[in-house]
Structure 1
Amino acid sequence: MTWRPRLIALDIDGTITPVGREDVAPAVRAAIRRAVDHGAHVVLSTGRSLVGARPVAEDLGLVGTAICSNGAVWWDAAARAVVRKLAFDPGPSVERLRALLPGAVFAAELTGVGNLSFGRFPDGDLWGEVREVPFAELVAEPTSRLVVRWVGRTPEELRLRLVDVELPGVTSSVDHTEPWLTLTPPGVTKGAALEELRAALGVPAADTLAIGDGDNDVAMLRWAAHGVAMGQAPVAVREAADAVTTTVLEDGAAAVLDRYFAA
């Protein structure tokens, strides 16, 4: 009997949509629908906040759990409710990063609403409402996700500046397309969240599939029985995967799903 995954974890940006967009290509949409129709649990697993992920989940008609903010926030689409929310104190890491990254801007997630920002982000960078606040207000409350953009720099410059830097009490990942750093609570990754969800759903570990393209997808790709990197993914991400598909602009996620859920 041909193997068919029962739990499918899909990154959003660079995997099922172009980065920063909500439109899923028709071929990818159809492939996801066939997987759902065959009884697979399809889970969006994204670094986006809930505000950015929810429209995609709703547009696809997914009714299960969506894993947002790299695993810190879980959204039950059927109940339309947050069912898990982990948070951390952003103060110590932000203090360190302000010294390391002159000119950087910071935003703390307000789950389901938007962000508090310290400094002005480029238009379109943040999902939901954005309210600029003083530094003291930015770090006054725990948050599930804090993002940092080093304005005017490259992702390579950001990575180099953070080499051997230990940020206290957080998990961090750097975007490969923009000078963008994401902080989440310690130990929180897409892979760890998916393992908890897999156990709760009763799906065997051998029946898991994940598709992604970024640094924050590495733990997810290693978690899956079969992890697939997108064609435009950086070398380190492709090396963490079991296979590589075509790019997001070539509907690479659909090519993977069509192997198991053909039309």
Structure 2
Amino acid sequence: MSALLLAFDLDGTLLPDGGQRVPPATRAALRRLHALNIPVAIITGRDMPPDDVLDAAQPTAVATNNGGRILLGGTLHRETRFDPADLKAVLAHELDDARVMAFTADKVYVDIPPNTPVPQWLAYRPHAPLSEAPAQGVLKVGFYHPDIRGWRDALAESHPHLVMTGAQPPYTDFLTITPAGADKGAALLAIAQGLGIELADTMVFGDSDNDLAMLELAGVAVQVGHLPLLRPYAHEVLDGPETLGAYLEALAERLERDALSFQKVVF
């Protein structure tokens, strides 16, 4: 199978968890694939990929906020926002000391405790108190709390149309909520259609529960790590981000051989 689209999750897949830089071996393999004109998509739960990822992957498509915002060729292709009533329900959590973040396309809304330094990840980004989050325009809400699973289950019962990931291994204390239709599977489908590529000709890499929807749709699903939840959907399994570079090098070598064989047949 010659993959016509490679789609990557970031944390735990293309990057070590919480990382900002693509490992050198993976970067070299991506450069080799780029020379073969293989399009790359980034599909991440983050609200923006690090600059080093954009430099290394040279992505044709970028989906952020778990698929809530999709760029094709640097142009906005689709944006899925919370209905105001749904957002109000999501923020009515009643979890003491929960850390809650609401994301729009250009700002993060989060409460920072008094006399606490601004976290490094937020320091250079536009941000404001959570109370100032707009009723319209929010793409994603994230929660950190040790008892977040109970809130997830209650919200899933009252608002089953919302997309919820986390609150289970490997992210037991973290929950992400996005509007209906904002998930990584929908993002993969929208990107493939936008590029004129069949889902059968996609190869997807992911490691956690929010990747399940796109692994399920992919022509080839590559699980990075060993989360049991994903194993039924994986065609291949890698040990972790540190093994991705070698896998992509082998893929590039195979595609180069295929291209050379095709040239010999044509000429």
TM-score range, shorter chain: 0.7 to 0.9
1:131 correspondence with 2:127: yes
Q: 2:148 aligns with which of 158, 171, 174?
A: 158
For residue 171 of structure 1, what is the aligned residue in structure 2?
163
Deviations 1:119-164 (A, max 9, x none): 54982455852534253x23533301111111xx2xxx43355346
TM-score (norm 2): 0.81
Cα offset for 1:200? 2.1
Q: Distance in 1 between matches of 2:100 and 2:112?
A: 7
**Contact map agreement 2:102 2:130 (CA 8 A) in 1:** no
1:5 counterpart letter in structure 2: A
Cα distance, 1:178–1:18 mapped onto 2, change above 3 Å? farther
Cα offset for 1:215? 1.0
Q: Which blocks of at least 5 consecutive residues in structure 2 are unaligned?
A: 257-267
1:26 counterpart letter in structure 2: P
**Contact map agreement 2:152 2:164 (CA 8 A) in 1:** no
Cα offset for 1:83? 3.3
**Contact map agreement 1:69 1:145 (CA 8 A) in 2:** yes
Q: Residue 63 of structure 2 aligns to a residue in which SS? A: strand
Q: Residue 230 of structure 2 aligns to a residue in which SS? A: helix
Q: Distance in 1 between matches of 2:57 and 2:190?
A: 23
1:59 correspondence with 2:55: yes
Query: Rg bigger for which structure?
Result: 2
1:230 correspondence with 2:224: yes
Q: Distance in 1 between matches of 2:121 and 2:53?
A: 20
Larger helix share, 1 or 2: 2
- Tell me the matched-pair count: 244
Q: Distance in 1 between matches of 2:180 and 2:70?
A: 16
Q: Residue 205 of structure 2 aligns to a residue in which SS? A: strand
1:209 counterpart letter in structure 2: M
Q: 2:206 aligns with which of 212, 215, 218?
A: 212
1:253 counterpart letter in structure 2: L
**Contact map agreement 1:31 1:254 (CA 8 A) in 2:** yes
Q: 1:243 aligns with which of 233, 236, 240?
A: 236
1:49 correspondence with 2:29: no
1:200 correspondence with 2:194: yes
Q: 2:109 aligns with which of 89, 109, 116?
A: 116
For residue 2 of structure 2, what is the aligned residue in structure 1?
4
Q: Distance in 1 between matches of 2:186 and 2:126?
A: 29
Q: Distance in 1 between matches of 2:36 and 2:218?
A: 19
Q: 1:146 aligns with which of 141, 148, 155?
A: 141
TM-score (norm 1): 0.82
Q: Residue 196 of structure 1 aligns to a residue in which SS? A: helix
For residue 253 of structure 1, what is the aligned residue in structure 2?
244
Q: Residue 144 of structure 2 aligns to a residue in which SS? A: strand
Deviations 1:92-144 (A, max 9, x none): 1111xx22x32212111131x33011454982455852534253x23533301
2:67 counterpart letter in structure 1: G
Deviations 1:41-65 (A, max 9, x none): 1101100102xx1514432151511
Cα distance, 1:161–1:106 mapped onto 2, change above 3 Å? closer
Give me the CA root mean square deviation. Answer: 2.5
Cα offset for 1:73? 0.8
Q: Residue 102 of structure 2 aligns to a residue in which SS? A: strand
For residue 261 of structure 2, what is the aligned residue in structure 1?
none
For residue 64 of structure 2, what is the aligned residue in structure 1?
68
